[in-house]
Amino acid sequence: MRRWLLWLPLCAFGVIVAVVAWGLYRPADRTVYSRLVGQPLPDFTLAPMVQGKPGVSSADFRQGTPRLLNVFASWCVPCIAEAPHLMTLKAAGVPIDAVAINDKPDAVTRFLRRNGDPYARIGDDRHSRLQLALGSSGVPETFVIDARGRIVKQHVGDIRAEDVPILLQTLAAAK
């Protein structure tokens, strides 16, 4: 056997280690993105969450204007952080509907009183069924739905000040 061949196993091992080390130290983006982006919104009808505000159904999103669908919960801390930015979007004339995940009417009413109420409708998704159907992995998440009821963008995590203009652009393009 040739001498240099004997070093081959070490080289192969070196390659494996390099791959593994890179996998270990790379900045990991473990965000779960929905496969439904670009697809029509699944059919659903959710009962109203709070008194005096209607529930949400998929039919509401095919009325010719793009809308935001915000997935939130009263028990979620980042949802409090994004509340002012949702109010900014509302002030800019964006219609926003919401799905409250795993929540109670009293708690949601209190949350809205404290943090402001940007929502046109709020649906009750007590067992996260719609959330799972949307391919959403947590709260808060915001979906941009175009005029024909298709999901054009999924925003994972809370909306920050710098996200507001991007969302407005996407909405304008989704008409």
Partner 1 sequence: MTAEFGLAALWLAAALAVLQCALATLGLARGRAEAFGAVRAAAVVQGALVAAAMAALIACFLASDMSVALVATNSHSMKPWLYKLAGAWGNHEGSMLLWVTILGLAGGAVARFERRLAERTLMATLGAQAAIALGFYAFLLFASNPFARLDPAPADGAGLNPLLQDPGLAFHPPTLYAGYVGLSVAFSFAVGALVTRDVGPVFARAMRPWVLIAWTFLTLGITAGSYWAYYELGWGGWWFWDPVENASLMPWLAATALLHSVSVLATRDGLRAWTVMLAVVAFSMSMLGTFLVRSGILTSVHAFAVDPARGSFILALLVLYIGAALVLFALRIGTVRQGTPFDPLSREGSLVANNLLLTVILGIVLIGTFYPIVAAAFGTQLSVGPPFFDSTAGPVALLLVAVMAAGPLMRWRREDGEALLQRMTWPIAATLAAGAGVFVLAGPIRPLPLAGIALAAGLAVASLAPLARRNLRRAPLFLYGMVVAHLGIAVSLAGMAASTAFTRETLAAVGAGEPVRVAGYSVTLDGVRPVIGDNWTALEARLSVLDDDGARFVLRPQVRYFTDPVTSTNESAIATLAGGQLYTVLGAMGEDGRWQLRLWWKPFVTLIWLGGALIALGGILSLVGHVLRERRQRRPVASEVPA
Binding-site ranges for partner 1 (CB under 8 A)? 1, 3, 6-7, 9-10, 13, 16-17, 19-26, 30, 127
Q: Which is nearer to partner 1, 21 or 161 (CB)?
A: 21
* Residue 4 CB, nearest approach to partner 1 (Å): 9
* Residue 6 CB, nearest approach to partner 1 (Å): 4
Q: Which is nearer to partner 1, 19 or 59 (CB)?
A: 19
Is the Cβ–Cβ distance between 49 and 124 less than 8 Å? Answer: yes
State whether residue 16 is helix, strand or coil. Answer: helix
* Residue 120 CB, nearest approach to partner 1 (Å): 24
Is the Cβ–Cβ distance between 98 and 121 less than 8 Å? Answer: yes
DSSP string computed for 53-122: S---BGGGGGSSS-EEEEEE-TT-HHHHHHHHHHHHHHHTT--EEEEEES--HHHHHHHHHHH----SEE
Q: Which is nearer to partner 1, 17 or 92 (CB)?
A: 17
Q: Which is nearer to partner 1, 10 or 172 (CB)?
A: 10
Helix (H) / strand (E) element for 23: namely: helix 8-25
* Residue 10 CB, nearest approach to partner 1 (Å): 4
Q: Which is nearer to partner 1, 6 or 172 (CB)?
A: 6
For residue 67, CA distances in Å to 3, 17, 39, 49, 96 come to: 69, 48, 15, 19, 6
Is the Cβ–Cβ distance between 65 and 95 less than 8 Å? Answer: yes
* Residue 122 CB, nearest approach to partner 1 (Å): 18
